[in-house]
Amino acid sequence: MGEDAAPGEAARVRLNPFLRGAVWWARIPRLEQPSVQRSLDVRGKENRDVALEVVAFLRWLWGRRESFLLDQLASGKCRVGPAYQAYIDGRLDTFTRELRDGVEDVDLEPFVARWQRELERRKKPNAETRAKYLRQVRTLLPAGQPFRRSQFTKQLVRAWLNDLSVGQPNRYRAALSSFAEFLVFEDAIVTNPVRQVKMAAEAEPRTKHLTQKDARKLLDALEDQPEMQTFHALMLATGMEFGAARRLDASTVTSDSVYAEGSKNAHRKRIATVYDRWRWAWVAVCEWIDAHPDSRHPFRHIQPWDAYRALKGALAVAKLDREYTTHDHRHTWAVQAIRDGLAPHVIAYQLGHRDATMLTKVYGRFRPQSSDYRSAASAKEETPV
């Protein structure tokens, strides 16, 4: 086998080809173990240029930290010639994957816990989204059941997504893709098969909303539940999501703003400002909070079901659309703001979006057109004094 170079010396090993009989040989560098002399599968003294190209390929593998393939070449489990030919043909990834599966069809299920720890280390996404990702991925990889690398194909991913009985399969796809990217980083797989499966067509964004008149009717219907009336008024007046409203810190409430402690991403932590359109609802919120000075977090005990049940009862009393939900308060605020002509970046900030891209996509059709203003101006001119 020849002399071995010490571990960690690979960067300094001179990987020059040399003849042994009629065959060119060279050292195979490895990342964690000694380098080993192996045949390059190149014959003839006149083919030194070819041998040099093969050695350049070995240096390239070492520079890319391709530990698995280098170990296979050094151990003799894979010949250098076929690996180099796969490289020349542009199919090295496929060659490596097939080699890896033939050597050890790794169980990917244990990687799920490591993936979650890595997401936690990065603090991205947040804990709630990480837990959701885990639940979604577990529909494909049940805990404790082996899931072999050879199973993780684009065809399996497509079949899994097609069989999901959920309204938004793209969210499951995003969770699995995050896991697959981690596997690529860990050298457990070569490529991410999820990316090869196209996303499903998205449904039209939900924009169910109330008019100002109906918003007043809704809150009036909650008159016998002052706490719930205030809680829903808070969301209507600010566009705040349920989680942020529930975490309200009364000490941050002013006559025209409040701190919204959102948790979905960094942008959800923002100052929500109340503009004139919603002053009537905000006054009621401030009065209720002033009447409860001992409660810094007055809504922390409210559970989603509590708010949902109160809302459904009020919708029935006010004879409003029973399909309206607590989350739709955000749509009510956003649609009204669009119609009132607030700048898109201001609305996006209020809702906790990174920028106005999503705003335009979801609410663009509610933005007044120049014809709307002309019609209004014409009507005003025609109105008798």
Q: What's the predicted TM-score (pTM) here?
A: 0.55
Residue range 196-243, pLDDT digits in tens: 999 987 767 778 999 999 999 999 999 999 999 999 999 999 999 999
- Residue 221 falls inside a structural domain: yes
- Name the nearest CA neighbour of 307 among 261, 242, 244: 242
Q: Are residues 291 and 256 in the same domain?
A: yes
- CA dist., res. 289 & res. 156, Å (int): 54
Q: Are residues 145 and 226 in the same domain?
A: no
The pLDDT of residue 11 is 44
- Residue 298 falls inside a structural domain: yes
Distance of alpha carbon 369 from the chain centroid: 34
Residue 123 in tokens: 């603090």
Residue where a domain stops, chosen among 35, 68, 103: 103
Mean pLDDT of the chain: 87
- Residue 379 falls inside a structural domain: no
- Residue 207 falls inside a structural domain: no
| CATH at residue 144 | 1.10.150
- Residue 351 falls inside a structural domain: yes
350 Cβ contact partners less than 8 Å away, ≥ 6 residues apart? 238, 239, 270, 272, 273, 333, 337
Burial class (CB within 10 angstroms; exposed 0-12, middle 13-18, buried 19+) of 186: middle
Domain range for residue 115? 111-196
- Residue 4 falls inside a structural domain: no
Largest CA distance in the chain: 110
Q: Are residues 96 and 122 in the same domain?
A: no
- Name the nearest CA neighbour of 222 among 117, 133, 317, 94: 317
Quickly tell me which residue has 């593998």 as its tokens.
Answer: 61
Q: Are residues 235 and 365 in the same domain?
A: yes
Using pLDDT thresholds of 50, 70 and 90, give the confidence band for residue 368: low
Using pLDDT thresholds of 50, 70 and 90, give the confidence band for residue 7: very low
Residue where a domain stops, chosen among 166, 196, 226: 196
User: For the residues 119-125, what does the mean pLDDT come to?
Assistant: 89
Question: CB–CB of 31/67 below 8 Å?
Answer: yes
Selected residue with higher pLDDT from 62 and 99: 62
Residue 191 in tokens: 């490529």
Does pLDDT of 360 surpass 60? yes
Selected residue with higher pLDDT from 333 and 14: 333
Residue range 253-275, pLDDT digits in tens: 999 999 999 877 777 899 999 99
Domains in the chain, number? 3
Q: Are residues 184 and 123 in the same domain?
A: yes
Does pLDDT of 1 surpass 90? no
- Residue 83 falls inside a structural domain: yes
Strands 257-261 and 36-43: unpaired
Q: Are residues 363 and 222 in the same domain?
A: yes
Does pLDDT of 4 surpass 60? no
Q: Are residues 345 and 244 in the same domain?
A: yes
| CATH at residue 249 | 1.10.443.10
The pLDDT of residue 189 is 84
Q: Are residues 48 and 168 in the same domain?
A: no
Residue where a domain stops, chosen among 72, 103, 134: 103
Q: Are residues 163 and 260 in the same domain?
A: no
Q: Are residues 151 and 168 in the same domain?
A: yes
Q: Are residues 79 and 218 in the same domain?
A: no
E-strand stretches of the chain: 18-20, 23-28, 36-43, 257-261, 269-273
- Residue 320 falls inside a structural domain: yes
The pLDDT of residue 150 is 83
- Name the nearest CA neighbour of 204 among 165, 162, 242, 168: 168
